């Protein structure tokens, strides 16, 4: 993630400023403001702005005239109650805004979350930088045999090297052709005065999906937690999960009580189906696991998933 000196200076200038406000502030998040958290080989997530804190959740739940907060222990109890019983609207009262740099194929997954605000760098209007995602060697995974949308073992030796070579060379070549078709020098003039240059909105189609793009992305806390529950999950593709992991750290700094409740009730929890719950009741009653399985009506796959959730061999 090589920021240019100009970009670094712009960030430092923003970090240096401090102004008084009557709004709720969160010092732990203020410390992180504007600073890029590196993700993948050239990407980042950085917090640009935020609104509200754990107290704002409490305040909205109580529709109070003041801060809503009484004692931290009461706030914690209320926040956990809200999270446990899926009273989600008070968590919508906090808002956060990120600047994210990410490969286009990751952006295409991310954008599926519709309850957010987005401004993406326009490749109709501007020229994309020459930056591509090339997986680290330990992420060059084979197709999973068991899961059609999962990863298997890491590729080794010549096959791994060949993949890296392909990804680098194709990205380099298609980008070089992108520049050739655009025919613009850095000042925006024709590089080759004998040619017109293809429209930016057309030339971009020659780029590969690992090209980096960037956007401003803004979301309320409830919808952010929903996003994280899906994208920080073990089933999410690694390349988006690392962004979710980075964002989770910012949520921990921003709204520690809400984040704790989220980890306890959502991320660390498990949903049992009606049949799964029935099987659990029988297992607690000491019934034989094989008999329970046979009577449960659960498919082999569901039973395996249940046993895994309970930390048992299937």
Neighbours of 97 (CB within 10 A): 16
Residues forming a β-bridge with 98: 47, 217
Give the side-chain half-sphere CA count within 13 A for 38: 6
The single residue among 1, 191, 253, 280 that binds a second copy, judged by CB under 8 A, is 280
Q: Is 84 one of the binding residues for a second copy (CB under 8 A)?
A: yes
Q: Which one is catalytic: 200, 204, 231, 293?
A: 231
C-beta of 159: minimal distance to a second copy in Å? 5
The three-class DSSP label of residue 207 is: coil
The single residue among 184, 252, 253, 256 that binds a second copy, judged by CB under 8 A, is 184
Q: 126 to each of 186, 203, 206, 213, how far by Cα in Å?
A: 12, 11, 15, 11
Contacts of a second copy in 19-48 (CB under 8 A): 19-25, 30, 33-34, 48
C-beta of 5: minimal distance to a second copy in Å? 11
The single residue among 95, 129, 245, 252 that binds a second copy, judged by CB under 8 A, is 95
Pull the structure tokens for residue 183.
Answer: 């025919």
Q: How far apart (Å, rounded) are the C-alpha atoms in residues 142 and 150? A: 9
Q: How far apart (Å, rounded) are the C-alpha atoms in residues 142 and 92? A: 40
C-beta of 95: minimal distance to a second copy in Å? 5
Nearer Cβ to a second copy (245/266)? 266
**Count of residues binding a second copy (CB under 8 A)?**
139
* Known catalytic membership, residue 231: yes
Contacts of a second copy in 131-150 (CB under 8 A): 133, 135, 139-144, 148-150
The single residue among 269, 288, 291, 304 that binds a second copy, judged by CB under 8 A, is 269
Q: Which residues fall within 8 angstroms of residue 5, CB to CB, at 6 or more apart?
A: none
Q: Is 122 one of the binding residues for a second copy (CB under 8 A)?
A: yes
Q: Is 3 one of the binding residues for a second copy (CB under 8 A)?
A: yes
Provide the b/e sequence for 200-223 (b: ≥16 CB within 10 Å). beebbebbbebbbbbbebbbbbbb
Asked whether 237 and 109 are in contact (CB, 8 A), the reply is: yes
Q: Is 186 one of the binding residues for a second copy (CB under 8 A)?
A: no
Contacts of a second copy in 206-265 (CB under 8 A): 206-210, 214-216, 218, 220, 230, 235, 237, 263-265
The three-class DSSP label of residue 138 is: helix
Q: Is 283 one of the binding residues for a second copy (CB under 8 A)?
A: yes
The single residue among 73, 112, 186, 234 that binds a second copy, judged by CB under 8 A, is 112
Q: How far apart (Å, rounded) are the C-alpha atoms in residues 150 and 141? A: 9
Q: Which residues are catalytic?
A: 231
């Amino acid at each position: 993630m090589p920021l240019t000196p100009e970009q670094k200076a712009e960030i430092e200038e923003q970090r240096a400023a401090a102004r008084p406000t009557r709004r709720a502030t969160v010092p732990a998040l203020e410390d992180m403001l504007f600073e890029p958290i590196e993700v993948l080989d050239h990407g980042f997530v950085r917090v640009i702005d935020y609104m509200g804190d754990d107290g704002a959740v409490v305040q909205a739940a109580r529709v109070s005239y003041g801060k809503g907060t009484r004692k931290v222990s009461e706030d914690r109890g209320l926040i956990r109650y809200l999270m446990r019983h899926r009273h989600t609207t008070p968590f919508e009262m906090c808002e956060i805004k990120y600047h994210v740099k990410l490969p286009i194929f990751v952006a295409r997954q991310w954008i599926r979350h519709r309850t957010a605000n987005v401004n993406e760098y326009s490749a109709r209007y501007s020229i994309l930088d020459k930056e591509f995602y090339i997986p680290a060697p330990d992420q060059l995974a084979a197709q999973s045999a068991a899961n059609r949308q999962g990863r298997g073992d890491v590729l080794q030796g010549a096959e791994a090297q060949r993949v890296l070579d392909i990804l680098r060379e194709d990205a380099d070549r298609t980008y070089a052709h992108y520049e050739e078709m655009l025919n613009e020098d850095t000042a925006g003039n024709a590089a080759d005065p004998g040619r017109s240059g293809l429209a930016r909105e057309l030339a971009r189609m020659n780029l590969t999906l690992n090209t980096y793009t960037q956007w401003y992305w803004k979301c309320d806390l409830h919808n952010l937690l929903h996003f994280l529950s899906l994208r920080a999950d073990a089933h999410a593709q690694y390349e988006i999960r690392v962004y979710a992991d980075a964002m989770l750290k910012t949520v921990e700094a921003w709204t520690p009580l809400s984040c704790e409740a989220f980890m306890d009730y959502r991320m660390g929890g498990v949903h049992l189906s009606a049949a799964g719950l029935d099987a659990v009741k029988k297992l607690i009653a000491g019934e034989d696991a094989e008999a329970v399985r046979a009577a449960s009506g659960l498919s082999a796959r569901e039973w395996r998933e249940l046993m895994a959730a309970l930390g048992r061999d299937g």
